Structure formats: C-alpha cells, structure tokens
Structure 1
Amino acid sequence: MRELRIVYMGTPDFAVYPLQKLLEAGHKVVAVVTNPDKPAGRGQKIQESPVKKFAVEKGIPVLQPERFRDERFLEELRAFQADLQLVVAFKMLPEVVWNMPPLGTVNLHASLLPDYRGAAPINWAVMNGETCSGVTTFLLKHEIDTGNLIFQERVEIEPNMTAGELHDQLMYTGADLLVKTVEAIAAGDYPLLDQVGLLAGREPKHAPKIFKEDMKVDWTLGVDAIFNHIRGLSPFPTAWTEFRNKKNGEVVSLKIFETERIVKDHGKDVGLSTDNKTYLDVLVEGGVIRIKELQLSGKKRMKTEEFLRGFHIEDYSL
C-alpha cells in the first residue's frame, strides 16, 4: 500500500474527529483547507474553525481561501502535490479544485446516499422519523452529492434520539469509514457504484439547508410528526414556537430543546395544559407533547419547572 499525500478540507467539529483518526492511522495529511476566521458571538471576537485549531495544534499547514477560484489559492493548493483530497462537512467546490489530484476528491457524507443529499442530512433524517441513517464515502463530481459511491455504513436511529446524538454517532462511524476508504484507495482496490442504479427510477429524499420558517413548530400536525420535528432540530438549529398573551396580544418566542411524546386520546382541541409548577403540555392530535427544556427569547436555556416559576403561562395561548 503506497503512502498518499492527502489534503483535508473541513470546518466544523464533525470534521475534526475523522482528521484525528486519519493521523492516528499514520496517513500523511500535507495540508488542511478550512473556512476563513470570522467574528462570532456577542463580543464579535474572531473565531477560528475547529478544524483549523486542530490542524495548527498538529503542525499541519492551513489554507483559508475567501474564494476557491482565486489563482493564488490554486497555486498554493497545487504546490502540496496531493494524490487525494478529502472533504468532510465543507462548502461546494468548483471543478478546478475537486479535479486537481490524480485520485480525485472523496467526500464523507452523513447519510446513506442517494437519499438525503444536501446541507442538512442529519436533521432531516430525524425530522422525517427515519429509523436508520448512516455515512457514505463517494467521489465528487459536478452535481452535489451524486458521485460514485465507495463505502457505506448504517447507523440505527433510536426512537428518542436527537439530531445532536445522531451527529456524534455518525461522526465516529464516519471517521472509521474515511480511514477504510483511504486505505482501499491507497491499495488501488475499491468499488465505485453509480447512484442512479440504486435509485431504480425513484426520486431521492432531499436534505436542503434549514431556514427559520422550517424550524417553527406546526402544532396542527400529529404527535409523532411534532416530536420528530423538535428532536430533529435539537440542540441545533433548534425548533421554536410562539405564545400569545390573551390579554394584550403580546407575542413571545421560545426555543424548544427537549420534549416527551405521550400518545393518548385526550379528546380536546390543540392548546396548552399546565399545573403552573411541574409540567407544560401541548395537546395535539393523537396525544401530548410535554415540553421539558426550553429557552425564552433573551433568556438562558432552562428546565420547564424553572421556566414556570418566572412565567405566568396561564396568561398565554398558542
């Protein structure tokens, strides 16, 4: 098995562990490409990406292009003479970048392709109530997430699992799968499977970028759909709803992090139910959504009991 010169591209926490596992397995990562530093948080302090922090710690050169087609960046990238590029949780790349190394560019994607192509596969899988997800390695080509598949690994989605919990499970599984993929490519023995054949004429499920309106809870849906929606957005980017003051019409916004699903026939209209001390329920079609952890706009995240101590919920309706 020959030693490959690898350029690794990624930005968030999800991309750090696979990079760590590659280094532990003895692979030669000659450079890392990640997002430019940017101001974040209330103080607008300049933040480095998690992948950059890790790479600097390990003494790996870091490139942070503003634009991928910038000639200076392309020259710097070429100078590393990579045999292979790896992409984990990163931006779309132009052909001039992904087609540069002789062995191409491999992407690690957090779904079982061809389903859940797009920017938010973890969230949508949970929101849609899937019982199984996984990770896929594939070679990049023009259309997003459509390249030939190399390897896949399935991961079960437990009935109460949040997107955050699935994220971590896929990160660990994906790191091992990426190492397996690199070693197969280095040995020159790896499959390439066309996604079109796997679809057998059907449309794939999609996982587009999530916007604020996608995150709003629709309380007219059934108990299962609402429960899945909330856990599929927890802890990030987080489902939200609004309560309206029955006296003055004031609307307050709050995020919902954790709920319990209680399936039962209550025979009542959609609405709030509480003892003002220990529980806050929303009666919905097919049962009850018990809100257990939430965050009022401008306040800290808290348990429902703490929230009810300082908020007169009886004055509000959905």
Structure 2
Amino acid sequence: MILHKLRIVYMGTPDFAVLPLKKMVEAGFEIVGVVTNPDKPAGRGQKLQESAVKQYAREAGLKILQPEKFRDEAFLAELKALNADLQVVVAFKMLPEVVWNMPRLGTVNLHASLLPDYRGAAPINWAVINGEKYSGVTTFLLKHEIDTGNIIFQQKVDISDTMTAGELHDMLMETGAELLLKTVEAMEKNDFPALDQKDLLKGRTPQAAPKIFKDDMRIKWDEEIDRIYNLIRGLSPYPAAWTELENERSGEKYVLKVFTTEKIYREHANTPGSFETDGKNFVDVFVKHGIIRLKEIQLSGKKRMTIEEFLRGFKLHEYRFL
C-alpha cells in the first residue's frame, strides 16, 4: 500500500458519502477526523439514528465530530487541532469560510453533476426530471458562492430513458468515489487543474438544481407525456412523485405515490387524468400524446406495491385522479 502523507478531514452524512470515504480509507489515506450530522430521532419510536457516514466511521475506528453549529468555538478549536492538510466534503451542509478555508490545501467537494450545470441541493433528481441524456460528477475547490469553485476533475455518465434517480444516484456514487480518490492523489502531488467555471459557461445561464418541495413532486396529468414520465422516474424512489385519488361519491381523498411507470405513445381523445383499468392487471392514465401505465405505487398508510397488488384491495373504479 502507498504511504500517503496528507492529513484529511472528511465531511459527509448520507449513503452517497460512505463509499468515497471507504475508498479513501482502503487506499491508505490518513483520515484524522470525520464530521457528520448530529444523531436525530427517527421512526415510530423516535430512537436516535446515526448518519450512514457515522456508522461507517465508527466501524472503521475513525474520530467523529458532530457539531450543532459550525461556528461553535469548541468545534472550531477541535477541528483546528486535527491539523488537516485537506478537507473533503461529500453531500454535506454549507460551510462557513472559517471552516472551509482552514486547511493549507483548502476544501474539495464532490458534486453529483457536471458543473457548472445543476448547482444546488438536488442535482440527481433534476437531471432526470429534465430528461437529460447524461450527467456526471465533479470535484472542485470550495469558495464563497455555492458550487462555483474551480473545477479539478469531471467524469461523465450516460442516463438511459428508463433510469430512475435512485439508479443514477448509485452510478454516480461509484463514479464519484473513484474520481474523488483520483482528485486527492493529484492534490497530494500538488499537480492538478483548477478550471474557472466561468470559462465553461461562456456567458450562458447554467441549469439549476434547487431543493425540491412538495408541490414540485405533484403529478400534473394535463402535462405532456414525457414531462410526467420523467418527473416520476426523477423522484423515484425518493422523495417520490404523488397524485391524489378522490372518491367520486363521498369525496374521500387518498395520496398515491408513484414510483414506476411505462409510457405509451398513442393519440387519443380522452381527458387528461382520466384512466382505464381492467380492475386486475393494469391502470392506464391518459395524458397529452399518450398513456402513463402505472407499475409500482404506494397508497398513503400502506407499503409500496405492484399495481396488481393494489387493484386486489382497492376499488379504483369509484375514484378519479386529481
């Protein structure tokens, strides 16, 4: 194993950030500290839940820091005492300059898009929602404005017409872990590019990837078939696109999450949002220029299920999609 000299502090929280950390540990880099979110209550019992990164760091015997606030003097003193040469950030919160500017080599971030496009909180979801044919990962140096720092390396990946955000997430996680390893090795040798994102923009406005809110996730059945299909796969499996079912007699409403669909191009004269079903095997919702065939769904209060399972216990013919 190569003997690495860099002292590295790693910052991350969700599953996406575990594999890059694991790769760095396995490559022999000295991870002197791992910064992750504080434990939070979750589930019905509201038991404290450790982040995915904390779970791995604890198993690997790494020092763990969980600050409530990044400007807390005790945390800053503890961080400084680690004497890191470099900080690495993957899927983490915004950092104040007092934190990201602390190491001599600065702080490098792994972002799940080909910057400068899809800056923001949800690059994976928006790339699929917008029907992009490819995405990728970028490593760059942090500076004041979010996701605008100088680019070190990028790696492109293709997005198929059926790929979900979850599948793209896993692909980018694997690709990103390798790219981050390459980046840290280059920075250790002090031999790496630092491309200004303005040179890539050439005056155009980049695609954005803002935080996704509940109304962004609602299926609008009067939209065009590709837009609806891409929205559903772009939010699958999380946070999931949703619609409402209303009982035409009682007015009772249910929220229905939609995870998997099939699109069928077919011109028709049916009202968008109306549907047909045999009550056993299929539900076809009519939209502009075709049909969205529901495959996997989840009724509020129930588990995720196939459309066949759903139809066995639900009298859909009494309802309409809102």
Which of residues 155, 168, 171 in structure 2 aligns to 1:169?
171
Query: Partner residue of 1:81?
Result: 83
- Give the drift of 1:317: 1.0
Partner Cα separation in structure 2 for residue 149 and residue 226 of structure 1? 34
Q: Alignment partner of 1:300: what SS?
A: coil
1:283 maps to a residue whose letter is F
1:300 maps onto 2:321 in alignment: no
Partner Cα separation in structure 2 for residue 219 and residue 200 of structure 1? 37
- What percentage of residue pairs aligned between the two structures are identical? 67
Which of residues 100, 108, 123 in structure 2 aligns to 1:106?
108
Partner Cα separation in structure 2 for residue 225 and residue 78 of structure 1? 48
Partner Cα separation in structure 2 for residue 66 and residue 166 of structure 1? 31
- Give the drift of 1:203: 0.7
1:317 maps onto 2:320 in alignment: yes
Partner Cα separation in structure 2 for residue 57 and residue 89 of structure 1? 20
Query: Partner residue of 2:224?
Result: 222
- Give the drift of 1:165: 0.2
Partner Cα separation in structure 2 for residue 2 and residue 55 of structure 1? 19
Partner Cα separation in structure 2 for residue 96 and residue 259 of structure 1? 47
2:33–2:64 CA contact under 8 A, matched in 1: yes
Runs of 4 or more above 6 Å deviation: none
Unaligned runs of at least 5 residues, structure 2: none
Query: Partner residue of 1:291?
Result: 294
1:31–1:62 CA contact under 8 A, matched in 2: yes
TM-score, normalization by structure 1? 0.99
2:4–2:28 CA contact under 8 A, matched in 1: no
1:274 maps onto 2:281 in alignment: no
1:22 maps to a residue whose letter is M
2:94 maps to a residue whose letter is M
1:264 maps onto 2:266 in alignment: yes
Q: Alignment partner of 1:31: what SS?
A: strand
Q: Alignment partner of 2:143: what SS?
A: coil
Query: Partner residue of 1:154?
Result: 156
2:241 maps to a residue whose letter is A
- Give the drift of 1:26: 1.2
Q: CA RMSD in A?
A: 0.8
1:34 maps to a residue whose letter is T
1:9–1:88 CA contact under 8 A, matched in 2: yes
Query: Partner residue of 2:191?
Result: 189
Query: Partner residue of 1:45?
Result: 47
Which of residues 95, 98, 112 in structure 1 aligns to 2:97?
95
Unaligned runs of at least 5 residues, structure 1: none
Bigger shift: 122-131 or 23-32?
23-32
2:222–2:287 CA contact under 8 A, matched in 1: yes
2:4–2:30 CA contact under 8 A, matched in 1: no
Query: Partner residue of 2:141?
Result: 139
1:2–1:187 CA contact under 8 A, matched in 2: no
Partner Cα separation in structure 1 for residue 4 and residue 241 of structure 2? 48
Partner Cα separation in structure 2 for residue 102 and residue 182 of structure 1? 14
Partner Cα separation in structure 1 for residue 270 and residue 243 of structure 2? 20
Q: Alignment partner of 1:164: what SS?
A: helix
- Give the drift of 1:87: 0.1
Query: Partner residue of 2:15?
Result: 13
Query: Partner residue of 1:123?
Result: 125
- Give the drift of 1:25: 1.2
1:265 maps to a residue whose letter is E
Partner Cα separation in structure 1 for residue 60 and residue 285 of structure 2? 50
Query: Partner residue of 1:30?
Result: 32
Partner Cα separation in structure 1 for residue 36 and residue 226 of structure 2? 38
Partner Cα separation in structure 2 for residue 174 and residue 94 of structure 1? 24
Which of residues 178, 202, 213 in structure 2 aligns to 1:200?
202
Q: Alignment partner of 1:122: what SS?
A: helix
- Give the drift of 1:2: 5.7
